[in-house]
């Protein structure tokens, strides 16, 4: 289906355009540019594009695709051809306005119940763990799991943490967690298995807003100790 990517059908009304299988800023840049290009120049029947770490899920209306196709190709073949034609255009796009946001985080014991154990696991004091965690910017790779939940990285190797063996039935809204070399903020109270190291009181998801999710793929976040 082309150089450096492949298109995989996902049922009758979606395909995945896969550029790789790693957590990589370069791959994610390509993913975001591709999703942006499709949205700016949609093919007939296009519904929405969802960027992930290294792939884009493209949802379409198969009835519209079939009705507007002038060949005897299958719907997936028609969509795949339209997407393949947009890969080169996407490679030259850089229209996404990347933002840098500072988010204050409470690292107190009640806000970050797993912080002491995480620091111990990393062989660090709590103060050093917080210092290293807040010293870098984190890229928003994708949204998922919950509305407005941003998967961010890449966490310093020294701070890498396993998921909890016993997921909590409730994690408080605004909780900042680490899983592997990813970090994220729970926009709503939810069950979850990430290690909770702090909490923010910034609203991450406002459903009635013109822009419900505070963060978007490509944004960068810096955590500030409150």
Q: What percent of the chain has pLDDT over 70?
A: 94
Burial of 181 (0-12, 13-18, 19+ CB in 10 A): middle
Backbone angles phi, psi at 33, to 5 degrees: -60, -40
Tell me, what's the pLDDT at 36?
87
3-state secondary structure of 4: coil
Average pLDDT value for the chain: 92
Residue range 85-129, pLDDT digits in tens: 888 667 655 555 679 999 999 999 999 999 999 999 999 999 999
Residue range 130-147, pLDDT digits in tens: 999 999 999 999 999 999
Tell me, what's the pLDDT at 91?
62
Tell me, what's the pLDDT at 2?
45
Tell me, what's the pLDDT at 57?
96
Q: Is the peptide bond before 154 cis (omega within 30 degrees of 0)?
A: yes
Domains of the chain: 6-91 (3.30.1360.40), 100-225 (2.40.100.10)
In this structure, the number of other CB atoms found within 10 A of the CB of residue 137 comes to: 13
Measured CA to CA, the distance from residue 215 to residue 222 in angstroms comes to 12
Q: At what angle do helices 126-133 and 115-122 cross, to 10 degrees?
A: 90
Q: How far is CA 115 from the centre of its chain?
A: 24
Cα R_g (the chain), whole angstroms: 20
Tell me, what's the pLDDT at 89?
67
Burial of 193 (0-12, 13-18, 19+ CB in 10 A): middle
pTM of the model: 0.85
Tell me, what's the pLDDT at 87?
80
Average pLDDT over residues 151-158: 96
pLDDT at 185 over 90: yes
Tell me, what's the pLDDT at 198?
98
Tell me, what's the pLDDT at 8?
95
pLDDT at 1 over 50: no
3-state secondary structure of 13: coil
Residue range 33-77, pLDDT digits in tens: 899 889 988 999 999 999 999 999 999 999 999 998 877 789 999
* The token pair that represents 214 in the structure block: 């505070």
């Amino acid at each position: 289906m082309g150089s450096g990517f492949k298109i995989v059908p996902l049922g009758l009304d979606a395909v995945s355009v896969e550029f790789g299988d790693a957590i990589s800023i370069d791959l994610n840049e390509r993913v975001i540019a591709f999703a942006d290009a499709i949205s700016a120049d949609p093919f007939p029947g296009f519904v929405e594009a969802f960027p992930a770490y290294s792939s884009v899920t493209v949802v379409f209306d198969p009835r519209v695709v079939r009705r507007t196709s002038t060949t005897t190709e299958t719907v997936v073949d028609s969509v795949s051809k339209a997407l393949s034609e947009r890969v080169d255009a996407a490679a030259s796009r850089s229209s996404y306005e990347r933002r840098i946001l500072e988010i204050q985080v409470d690292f107190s014991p009640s806000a970050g119940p797993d912080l002491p154990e995480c620091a111990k696991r990393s062989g660090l004091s709590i103060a050093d763990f917080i210092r290293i965690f807040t010293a870098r910017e984190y890229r928003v790779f994708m949204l998922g799991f919950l509305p407005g939940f941003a998967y961010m990285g890449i966490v310093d190797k020294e701070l890498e943490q396993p998921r909890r063996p016993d997921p909590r039935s409730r994690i408080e809204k605004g909780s900042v967690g680490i899983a592997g070399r990813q970090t994220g903020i729970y926009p709503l109270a939810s069950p979850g298995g990430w290690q909770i190291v702090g909490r923010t009181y910034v609203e991450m998801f406002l459903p009635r807003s013109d822009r419900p999710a505070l963060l978007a793929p490509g944004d960068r976040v810096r955590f500030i100790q409150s």
